[in-house]
Amino acid sequence: MAKSKSLVKSEPTGEKSANAPLVAKKSSTPYQLDPAQVERAAKGLIAHMKKHAQEKEEKAGKKNLAVDEDDSADQDQAIFLNVSTKTHVHDSNRLKPTKLPLPHPIVGSDVRICIFTKDPQRAYKDLVASDEFPADLRTRVARVIGVDKLRKKWKPFENKRQLLALYDVFMVDERVTKIVAETLGKTFYSTKSKRPIPIRLTAGAYIDKSKKDDKKKQENVIGTPKGVAKEIEAALSATYVSMSPSANTSIKVGKLSMTPQQLKENVEAVVEKLVEKHIEHKWRNVRGLYIKGPTTKALPIWLTEEQWADEDKVLDEAPQRVITDGSKKGGEKRKKWEEWEEELLDDEDLEEKRQRRKAKKAKKGPEQSQSRSISKEKRNKLKQEALQSVQTPLIAS
């Protein structure tokens, strides 16, 4: 990359360096993914993960028939997209994940779903049991729990752990997301594996937002069977990102049973929506994109050459170094320390210290004390006069 007379404005960390590295303001970095690079990384990652899983199975020996296949962690491992940004990305709604649609769903068709709803609970149970609700989806919705029942029956920590183990996917009415999060606590929300997915249980119902007086009625609106079913299906065919105030975010984009082509298409779909909607300055703020397994190293699929996200942080010339004499500040600190130390000493020790200080000054002699009192200008003048008085040069030409 060609160098230019421009500099990245560093963050205010005190003294600025005049020897900052030169970088180019304009870079040839393409602000898009290379499909060939993504597919190569996907092939390499899937092949490595399958090889590692096979070696682990052979090392273990005979298969344990007592282990449930659904509980095997190595059966279909998750694949993640790691996003690294140049500046921190802030999102106040961390408890409410954002839905990103996927062309190839990660969740299987045989999952057991539990839905946390707004009260009354019976209304939503009847909605799922309705003939208009798709039969194949009804078999997957195993339980519907209202907020009141959730607070009463699953308040103890052990009960929450049991509830977490009973179902594969949890969903929550977006109107009670905060209440459910406070009730379930870190048992559900400490990790992203089974964090309840917000859905609209008012989908399909008509809401007249122009009538402000009917706000309570609007809060109790129940969606139609077809509308809610469509909302659940959309949630099952998507992945979720919960942006945190940091420079790194991890998003589940696939699983080991997928083909490299399917994984590539999922990665491209997620990156497009994520950069467009959730990252400030969009591509200019992205430092790198990687894909990885739960225990593998991250494979890069896109890296930037630029070090900044905003053109305003690029200077046309180097900042000047400010040189200050720190002797005065150091002297003040030393003086304060000596005063504090003298306050802690007894009268006899204090007098002894003062006598040692006087004796030390007397040993220096009048010549040394005189040289200390000479100013810098006068000392330089005396040095020049001494050099001029020498008949022969000190260094032969």
Q: What's residue 27's pLDDT? A: 54
- Rounded mean pLDDT, 88-96: 59
Q: What's residue 216's pLDDT? A: 59
pLDDT band at 318 (very low <50, low <70, confident <90, very high): low
The first and second tokens of residue 151, run together, are: 């607070």
Longest CA–CA span in the chain (Å) reads 116
| Cβ within 8 Å of residue 242, ≥6 positions away | 91, 94, 95, 96, 97, 98, 192, 195
Give the C-alpha distances (Å, rounded to integers) separating 68 from 63, 166, 242, 326.
11, 14, 31, 70
- The answer on 220 and 255 residing in a single domain is no
- The answer on 247 and 187 residing in a single domain is no
- The answer on 223 and 117 residing in a single domain is yes
- The answer on 218 and 287 residing in a single domain is no
Q: What's residue 61's pLDDT? A: 66
Is pTM beyond 0.75? Reply is: no
Q: Which domain holds residue 118?
A: 108-236
Q: Is residue 352 part of a domain?
A: no
Indicate whether 373 pLDDT > 60.
no
- The answer on 133 and 82 residing in a single domain is no
Q: Is residue 43 part of a domain?
A: yes
- The answer on 224 and 118 residing in a single domain is yes
Rounded Cα–Cα distance for residues 28 and 43 (Å) = 27
Residue pair 101/269 in contact (Cβ under 8 Å)? The answer is: yes
Q: What's residue 364's pLDDT? A: 62
- The answer on 214 and 154 residing in a single domain is yes
pLDDT band at 313 (very low <50, low <70, confident <90, very high): low
3-state secondary structure of 159: helix
Highest mean pLDDT among 12-16, 92-96, 283-287: 283-287
Structurally, how many domains does the chain consist of? Answer: 3
- The answer on 291 and 213 residing in a single domain is no
Q: Phi/psi of residue 141, each to 5°?
A: -80, 95
Q: What's residue 82's pLDDT? A: 92
Indicate whether 50 pLDDT > 50.
yes
Q: What's residue 17's pLDDT? A: 43
- The answer on 260 and 232 residing in a single domain is no
pLDDT tens per residue, range 126-176 = 999 999 999 999 999 999 999 999 999 988 899 999 999 999 999 999 899
- The answer on 221 and 133 residing in a single domain is yes
- The answer on 204 and 132 residing in a single domain is yes
The first and second tokens of residue 331, run together, are: 């002297």
Residue that wins the pLDDT comparison between 374 and 372: 374
Q: What's residue 13's pLDDT? A: 40
Indicate whether 9 pLDDT > 50.
no
Q: What is the DSSP string of 73-139?
A: TTSS-EEEEEEEEEEEE--S-TTSPEEEE-SS-SS-TT--EEEEEPSPHHHHHHHHHSTTS-HHHHT
Rounded Cα–Cα distance for residues 314 and 5 (Å) = 10
Q: Is residue 337 part of a domain?
A: no
Residue pair 199/98 in contact (Cβ under 8 Å)? The answer is: no
Q: What's residue 357's pLDDT? A: 81
| Cβ within 8 Å of residue 21, ≥6 positions away | 7
**Average pLDDT along the chain:** 78
Indicate whether 262 pLDDT > 90.
yes
- The answer on 113 and 84 residing in a single domain is no
Rounded Cα–Cα distance for residues 355 and 178 (Å) = 72
Rounded Cα–Cα distance for residues 218 and 207 (Å) = 7
Q: Is residue 254 part of a domain?
A: yes
Q: Is residue 164 part of a domain?
A: yes
Residue that wins the pLDDT comparison between 322 and 351: 351
